[in-house]
Amino acid sequence: MRISVISLLSGVLASLLFAGTATAGVLEQNGPVPAAGKSPETNNPVYHSGKFEIKACEEQPINPDDLDAARVYLEFVLDCLNTSWQDQLTKARIPFSKPKFVTTSRAGVPTGCGKFPKGAQAVYCPYNKKITFLLDPGILSQATELFLFEVLAHEYGHHVQQLSGIMNAVGNRKYKNEKATLAAIRKIELQAECFSGAFIGSVWQALGRRESDFTYVAQAAYDTASHGKSKNIAFWLRRGFDAETPDVCNTFSAPAAKVS
């Protein structure tokens, strides 16, 4: 049975945002100070950074059921993400730093944002800027799919949200009820999908993969209140992919139907 990883990503982020003001002090320590009178999530230089200019990314051989190969594979993808996003954020004059990255073979390990939740494939914690990636037998059995690549690019999207002040702005706002909070989380999650798509699109030629690999990942998600409807997840992933730039990823100014 296939694991629909995309829909299961950020339980930790949800609990962070639900925690409200208790997290605000920590979140405020990170990310650039937004311009006066502007909302970093709707007015952000990352939306004016243009196309990714770096087109290179080398995928390593990956075999099913091979933990070491999967680890090496992810490290190479992470290198690509670091190189491309450093260049992109530098263009936008947003200070860049690499995220920390660890893999784990089981849920329950500490992430910096509580224990790694069951059912998640990967977690980004904004406090320590760390991606924790689950490599268990289930995901390793389908390691040749584009899933690993896409999930890491999605988590990296959360890191970009942190570096650009978007995560702080959203995390520090007060929401009047759970419905409003979930709406904000969906915009965060769908934007991470769009950032992921933009990066994947920019290096797609270099990867030499089949179009069907991407289509498959784009169609794998299902509806959840925190990540959105599957058609919207696919929409934002594809939108970034086609444009090869985060300029098209402003989910915070999008029509409600596109972030439902």
The rounded distance, in Å, linking the Cα atoms of 93 and 220 is: 35
Which residue's CB is nearer to Zn ion, number 41 or number 189? 189
Which residue's CB is nearer to Zn ion, number 143 or number 158? 158
Which residue's CB is nearer to Zn ion, number 9 or number 94? 9
Which residue's CB is nearer to Zn ion, number 189 or number 213? 189
Structure tokens at 149: 């690549």
Vertex 195: Cα angle to 207 and 143 (nearest 5): 45
Instruction: Return the DSSP state at 9.
Output: S
Structure tokens at 135: 């490599």
| Binding pattern for the stretch 172-191 against Zn ion, x by CB under 5 A and - elsewhere | -----------------x--
CB 203 within 8 A of CB 246: no
The rounded distance, in Å, linking the Cα atoms of 172 and 191 is: 18
Is residue 192 within the footprint of Zn ion (CB under 5 A)?
yes
The rounded distance, in Å, linking the Cα atoms of 52 and 117 is: 33
Which residue's CB is nearer to Zn ion, number 148 or number 192? 192
Please report how close the Cβ of residue 198 comes to Zn ion at its closest, in angstroms. Answer: 15
Please report how close the Cβ of residue 92 comes to Zn ion at its closest, in angstroms. Answer: 21
Residue nearest to Zn ion (CB): 10
- Which of 10-18, 23-31, 88-96, 235-243 is the region at the interface with Zn ion (rule: CB under 5 A)? 10-18
Please state whether beta strands 130-134 and 122-125 pair in parallel, antiparallel, or not at all (unpaired). antiparallel
Please report how close the Cβ of residue 42 comes to Zn ion at its closest, in angstroms. Answer: 19
Please report how close the Cβ of residue 50 comes to Zn ion at its closest, in angstroms. Answer: 24
Name the E strands within 108-219. 122-125, 130-134
The rounded distance, in Å, linking the Cα atoms of 4 and 41 is: 28
Please report how close the Cβ of residue 227 comes to Zn ion at its closest, in angstroms. Answer: 7
User: What are the backbone angles phi and psi of residue 110, rounded to the nearest 5°?
Assistant: -65, 145
Please report how close the Cβ of residue 192 comes to Zn ion at its closest, in angstroms. Answer: 5
Which residue's CB is nearer to Zn ion, number 10 or number 230? 10
CB 152 within 8 A of CB 192: no
Taking CB under 5 A as the criterion, the residue among 6, 7, 8, 10 binding Zn ion is 10
# binding residues, Zn ion (CB under 5 A): 4
Q: Which of residues 195-234 bind Zn ion (CB under 5 A)?
A: none
Using CB under 5 A as the criterion, which residues of the chain lie in contact with Zn ion when the complex forms?
A: 9-10, 189, 192
